Amino acid sequence: MYNQGYVPQNQGQQSGSWYAPPPQPRQQQGRRSGGSSGKQPPQKPKKKRSLKWQLVKVLVVIVLIAGACAGGYVWKTQNEVRPYMSVFLPNIYVDGISLSGLSWQEGSQKVWEQANAKENSWYVRLKNTSGQYQDITADMLGISFDPSAALEEAWAIGHATDASGRKDIFELQQEIAAAKNTTYSFTSAQQSADTTPIDNILTTLQTVAYKAPQDAAMLSFNPDDTSNPFTFQQEVYGQWLDVSAVKEQILEMVSTLQSGEILLETTPIAPSVTVAELEKNVELRFRATTAISKNSTEDRTNNIRVAFERINGTILQDNKTFSFNTAVGRREAGNGYYPAIEYAYGNEVMGIGGGVCQASTTVYLAAIQAGLKINKREAHSNPVNYTEMGMDATVNSTRGHEVDFTFTNNTGSPIYISAHVISSSSNKKNLMCEVRIYGKSLENVSYQLVSETVEVLPKPEEPVLVKDEDGENVVYEDETKLRSKGRDGYVVEAYLITFTDGVETDRTRVSRDTYAARADRYWVGVTPRY
């Protein structure tokens, strides 16, 4: 590649105009006598002739002096130009190399050597964050340099060109003087690089670097773990390589032939679903509790447990309806329920599944205060001891007398239900019913169910006598025993209050229930005393 033998055509030629002194003036000779008279022509006065010749002499001297000065100036100019006839002028650069004071041979050699070195040593290293790299070389792109034109341009400053347009000595002098105060820079011609290998390499690197994002997902719902009931698959960010930006960097380094390293930094790709977003859809919307009476039998408490076991872990999709009777099944011995005291038509009786109504009531308290749509709910005929009047929900699975409690998920997202019999935090011996409903965050909204008595129905004055046919309580006709104490009745209205940022913004009546007044009830015997 090195072009050692190139030399400009008229290297070192100089020209200039030199002034030659003009010829000396010739002396005039006198005329011979041609007339018979023999008279001489009249002559000017000697004084005037002498003055004329003096003027001529002065002019000749002036011309000679001017010629001498001109010749001296040319000589001086030649001396100023001569040191630069065979070397590059000051402040001349080709490809960043100073050629000042170098001959054509020396300067061109340095420039060609650098051009060759650049071609052989230039590279761009594409390196990823893991330390892996791919090199791009000049040979791969077909890059080459030709400094010939740049050298010729540099040499033309202060040196004669070809014979048809050569510079005179004074023009050269001016260029030399200017070069001492001016920097001239020239760049070698570079053959256009073939970018196809770059595109192929970047396509491969982009494919290798790409990683698809992974959305977060809920893996499981564990209703028995009240502290952390949900397990999630963590989202994973993907990545991609912006090859267009990398290519611009490479082409810039190709144009300047600047070697170096480019760090391939990928751009993250966010997943569509994150754990944080999923957690907003499984927040605790409401927790409801009711206390189990210390007088509750073990069988009654077990009935509550059986019902809760069948509710616990329920996932109710959006716009789906929950039926309590469907969830817990018929209250029959074959379904795992036990005999226990329950209310039936206003009376306490022994029945299979007694206590299940406390489970349905607790679910109702949780559902309505979680903002769910209540479809069907009925109150007991008598007030219960585990919640306030107007806030209970009775159920019955007896054929022909079914009473169900239902609600619909209207949140736009699934809801999750946990239901347990737990120990009171204040006393482990005291048991409680607990129902938790998880789902889409209520954000700054909350609900509260309240009730108020709007009317009192007085207790009847006349007692009710119930015959004891079996004689278990009383035997004789004139014998009585209090079976149950009477009470006043009540008309109760329940309201659902909506709070926004802790401030009441709505109050809606959700029910109006009547608890009938009851007279005192007595056992009376059926056997005559005599």
**408-457 pLDDT tens trace:** 999 999 999 999 999 988 888 899 999 999 999 999 999 999 999 999 99
What integer pLDDT is reported at residue 39 of this predicted model? 47
> Is the pLDDT higher at 194 or at 192?
194
Find the distance separating the first CA and the last CA of the chain, reported in whole Å: 145
Q: What one-letter code names the amino acid at 114?
A: Q
300 vs 342: CA distance, rounded Å: 9
For the entire predicted model, the pTM comes to: 0.66
What integer pLDDT is reported at residue 79 of this predicted model? 73
SS (H, E, C) 48-100: HHHHHHHHHHHHHHHHHHHHHHHHHHHHHHHHHHHHHCCECCCCEEECCEECC
Mean pLDDT along residues 285-307: 96
Mean pLDDT along residues 277-299: 96
φ and ψ at 52, to 5 degrees?
-65, -45
Establish how many alpha carbons lie within 13 A of residue 529's alpha carbon, considering only the half-sphere containing its beta carbon.
Answer: 6
| Contact (CB, 8 A) for 232 and 277 | no
What integer pLDDT is reported at residue 346 of this predicted model? 53
User: Which two tokens mark 153?
Assistant: 């341009």
Q: What one-letter code names the amino acid at 250?
A: I
Q: Report the length, in residues, of the chain.
A: 530
Q: Report the CATH number of the 446-530 domain.
A: 2.20.230
Residue 98 Cα distances to 111, 269, 500, 519, 523, angstroms: 9, 50, 79, 122, 128
Helix (H) or strand (E) holding 107: helix 104-121
What integer pLDDT is reported at residue 238 of this predicted model? 97
Helices (H), 210-323: 243-256, 275-279, 298-311
**For the segment 162-174, what is each residue's pLDDT rounded down to a tens digit?**
555 556 677 777 8
Radius of gyration of the chain (CA): 59
230 vs 50: CA distance, rounded Å: 135
What integer pLDDT is reported at residue 343 of this predicted model? 62
> Is the pLDDT higher at 314 or at 43?
314
Those residues whose C-beta lies under 8 Å from the C-beta of residue 393, and which sit 6 or more positions away, are 324, 357, 360, 361, 363, 364, 377, 378, 379, 405
What integer pLDDT is reported at residue 27 of this predicted model? 38
Report domain extents, the chain: 46-120+143-190, 196-277, 283-443, 446-530
**For the segment 86-106, what is each residue's pLDDT rounded down to a tens digit?**
889 889 999 899 998 899 999
**For the segment 357-387, what is each residue's pLDDT rounded down to a tens digit?**
999 999 999 999 999 999 999 999 999 999 9
**For the segment 6-59, what is each residue's pLDDT rounded down to a tens digit?**
333 333 333 333 222 333 333 334 444 444 444 455 554 555 556 767 676 667
Q: At what angle do helices 148-156 and 104-121 cross, to 10 degrees?
A: 150
Which of the four pLDDT bands, split at 50, 70 and 90, describes residue 191? confident
What integer pLDDT is reported at residue 71 of this predicted model? 55
Which of the four pLDDT bands, split at 50, 70 and 90, describes residue 115? confident
Helix (H) or strand (E) holding 492: strand 489-500
What integer pLDDT is reported at residue 144 of this predicted model? 81
What integer pLDDT is reported at residue 310 of this predicted model? 98
Those residues whose C-beta lies under 8 Å from the C-beta of residue 451, and which sit 6 or more positions away, are 388, 389, 390, 391, 492, 493, 494, 495
387 vs 402: CA distance, rounded Å: 22
What integer pLDDT is reported at residue 70 of this predicted model? 52
